[in-house]
Amino acid sequence: MNLFCVGLSHHTANVETRERFAGGAGAQSTLREAGCAEALVLATCNRVEVYGASEKRVSTDEIAHCLLQNSEVSERGHSEALPFYRYEAEKCVQHLFRVASGLDSMVVGETEILGQTKKAYQSARTSGAVGPFLHRLFQRAFRAAKQVRTHTEITRGSVSVGSVAVDLAQKIFGELGNCSVLVLGAGETSERTARALVSRGVTDLRVSNRSNERAQELAQRVSGQTVRFDRWPQQCCEIDILITSTSSEAPLLTPTDLGPVLANRIDRPLFIIDIAVPRDVDPAVNEMEGVYLYDIDALRSVAEQSLAVRCQQIASAEAIIAEHVADFLEKISRELSPASRITGHPPVADSSLRATQL
Amino acid sequence: MDRDLLIISTICFLAAVVRSGVALRAGVFRPGRFNFLAIGLGFVFQTAFLSIRGHAVGRCPLTNLFEVFIFLAWSVALIYMLVGPAYRLSLMGAFTAPLVVLLQGFALIAPIDVRHPVKLPANPSLEFHASVSLVAYGVFALACIAGVMYLVQERQLKTHQLRSIFYHLPPLSDLFAAITRLLWWGFILYTIGIASGFFIGRPLPRVQVVAAVCVWLLYAAILQGRYFRRIAPKRVAALCIIGFSAALTLLWGITFSAQTHSVQ
């Protein structure tokens, strides 16, 4: 039995090319008609991959044809060489394990890909496209991914500014359901951060902006309430999180302003996310007891620290994957009859594949 | 024989310390079962030691400074096992084990295991007073550990330098809630311990009473400040560390003084 993976990803193809091959619901049955005894299509925003097991070789051209036949995007007759890659046997197993573990993702260590892979597997299993080979392969991939997540720090921390802000808020307040948030300025980044906080349970959201109209628009979008711009300083006594992103040239909040407010909330911390440039909050505010101030650079720095840690963990993750690959290949060759053991196809050049030929 | 049990117990706690240290250094700390099991095993050997020693002295084994330190270490491990899982403070084990190793290591090395020349008669009131007070010290020790965790977490949030441990420490609000509850439990137990001291059938040495009341007043002041929201959480955490350090010093003084007056 030949095990292979044919696909394209963010490493090799731009989004326009990827969406042309994203494939429709019928891709798996078309692939089986083309000679794949088992086939599974993994289509995400960053990759389109076909995992197959077949008795005879199914060429990359045929796979591409199958994907294109089921594509929901019309063919526009591109003439550039298509950047498909092909992995067989051991390389295919290794590639899938790396993909499921998030090592091949655009953001190393992201965990969404594991859910997407599970979903693709479930869908293929329901349609009967998955047989014993792919079943064993994907089950082992999920185990490997779980072990990578548990035994390394590859998923540690957040790598985007919005997620970092939310993670920090949770590290200060625990559950965010009881937190009050004031969004000062109706910019795009503050809206994204506010939305991220709402997604983690924040219900008390207040919006204040120089233009009350824009404040009302944002408040409606995030299910919050509007606060008049001249009233926002008084809100500091009640709120737990302040997100500022105004275009003010001078700091809106200084230790002098905040001092009397803090005296009335000695046992409640205040988390300030200042994403404005120039900054809305005097950096000296961070020196005050119970105040945690993060400006855009600090948030980016935390995101970069997390990314650096993830990159440091790649070697450990690869070692875990290598163990799983070796163990999987050994077990499957013991369990299966010699005739149906995993082999790689003899190499055939597919590099001549061009979109215009499809 | 009993000291061997104590050495094995110390090795168990040391294993938890080493494992946590190596994992934290490698930046891949995961609060797993190993720490809890190592501490649990250490606790079993501690209990066996105290049981054998108790039978040997014919009463609660609190007859010298050595036994007091071991009883205190036992209380710390006991409270950790009761409190840690309940508050999901699994990382607390990484902080608890070093304290126990320090207490037991010091007790084993220092020449403080001075056996009484005669078997002391049992005095249930005195034993109740001493054991409840020491369990209260164990609770204060855990509050001190939670205070250290709070300050570590707070420092990292302030400086924006988030190390591996940051991602495994509980949120500040959870740590502060744990500190507050531990302070209340410790204070209640300590109050019972002090009050029972007046019913042991003989007058206590003046210096012991003054020292115990000083510790009681210190914790009462911390709790009063917390209750009326006059002390910021960071200061409460710092006061827990100062309070326990002071209490431990006074405990030494009390035990030393009691040894000279012979607890009987």
Task: Count Cβ neighbours within 10 Å for each residue of A153-182 and write b for 16 or more, e otherwise.
Answer: bbbbbbbbbbbbbbbbbbbbbbebeebebb
Q: How many residues are there in chain B?
A: 264
Highest mean pLDDT among A52-61, B29-38, B220-229: B220-229
Residues of A within 8 A of B171 (CB-CB) are 170-174
Interface probe for A, chosen from B161, B163, B173, B239 (most Cβ of A below 10 Å), is B173
B14 or A340, which is more confident?
B14
Tokens read off for A211? 């233009």
Q: Are B182 and B142 in contact (CB under 8 A)?
A: yes
Question: Which string of DSSP letters, residue by residue, matches B50-109?
Answer: HHHHHHHHTS-S-SSHHHHHHHHHHHHHHHHHHHHHHTT-TTHHHHHHHHHHHHHHHHHH
pLDDT of residue B31: 58
pLDDT of residue A352: 38
Instruction: Calculate the alpha carbon distances from A140 to A97, A143, A146, A326 in Å.
Output: 8, 5, 10, 11
Q: Choose among A269, A294, A309: nearest Cβ to B172.
A: A269
Residues of B within 8 A of A309 (CB-CB) are 27, 164
pLDDT of residue A82: 74
Highest mean pLDDT among A322-326, B55-59, B225-229: A322-326
Tokens read off for A332? 């499957």
Considering only alpha carbons, which residue of chain B is nearest residue A157? B167
Does the distance separating the beta carbons of B27 and A153 come in below 8 Å? yes
Does the distance separating the beta carbons of B167 and A156 come in below 8 Å? yes
pLDDT of residue A30: 77
Considering only alpha carbons, which residue of chain A is nearest residue B160? A298
Residue A189's identity, in one-letter code, is T
Fold of the domain built from segment(s) A2-156+313-357: Beta Polymerase; domain 2 (3.30.460)
Give the side-chain half-sphere CA count within 13 A for A286.
18
* Least confident stretch, B42-46, B70-74, B95-99: B95-99
Per-domain residue ranges of chain B:
2-111+121-261
Per-domain residue ranges of chain A:
2-156+313-357, 161-306
pLDDT of residue A190: 82
CATH class (in words) of the domain with range A161-306: alpha beta
Taking the C-alpha atoms of residue A345 and residue B147, their distance in angstroms, rounded to an integer, is 62
Taking the C-alpha atoms of residue B72 and residue B70, their distance in angstroms, rounded to an integer, is 5
Interface confidence, given as ipTM, is 0.79
Taking the C-alpha atoms of residue A239 and residue A257, their distance in angstroms, rounded to an integer, is 15
Nearest CA to A94 among A342, A350, A346? Answer: A342
Distance from CA of A286 to the nearest CA of B (A): 7
Distance from CA of B158 to the nearest CA of A (A): 6
Taking the C-alpha atoms of residue B166 and residue B153, their distance in angstroms, rounded to an integer, is 6
pLDDT of residue A327: 94
Helices (H), ranges, B87-171: 92-109, 124-159
**pTM for the whole thing?**
0.77
Give the side-chain half-sphere CA count within 13 A for B55.
6
Q: Are A104 and A23 in contact (CB under 8 A)?
A: no
Q: Are B177 and B134 in contact (CB under 8 A)?
A: no
Does the distance separating the beta carbons of A157 and B234 come in below 8 Å? no
Residues of A within 8 A of B30 (CB-CB) are 150-151
Q: Choose among B164, B169, B232: nearest Cβ to A153.
A: B164
Please write the tens of the pLDDT for every residue from A215-232: 999 999 988 999 999 889
- Give the residue numbers of A marked as catalytic: 45
Q: Write out chain A's pLDDT in tens, 358 residues.
A: 788 999 888 888 888 788 777 765 567 777 777 778 888 989 888 898 999 988 888 888 888 888 877 665 555 555 456 788 999 989 999 999 999 999 999 888 888 899 999 999 998 888 888 888 899 999 999 999 999 998 888 888 887 888 899 999 999 998 899 999 999 998 888 888 888 899 889 999 999 999 989 999 999 998 899 999 988 988 888 999 999 999 888 899 999 999 988 888 888 999 999 998 889 999 999 999 999 999 999 999 998 888 888 888 899 999 999 999 999 999 888 776 665 556 655 554 444 344 333 3
Q: Report whether pLDDT(B26) > 60.
A: yes
Does the distance separating the beta carbons of A298 and B164 come in below 8 Å? no
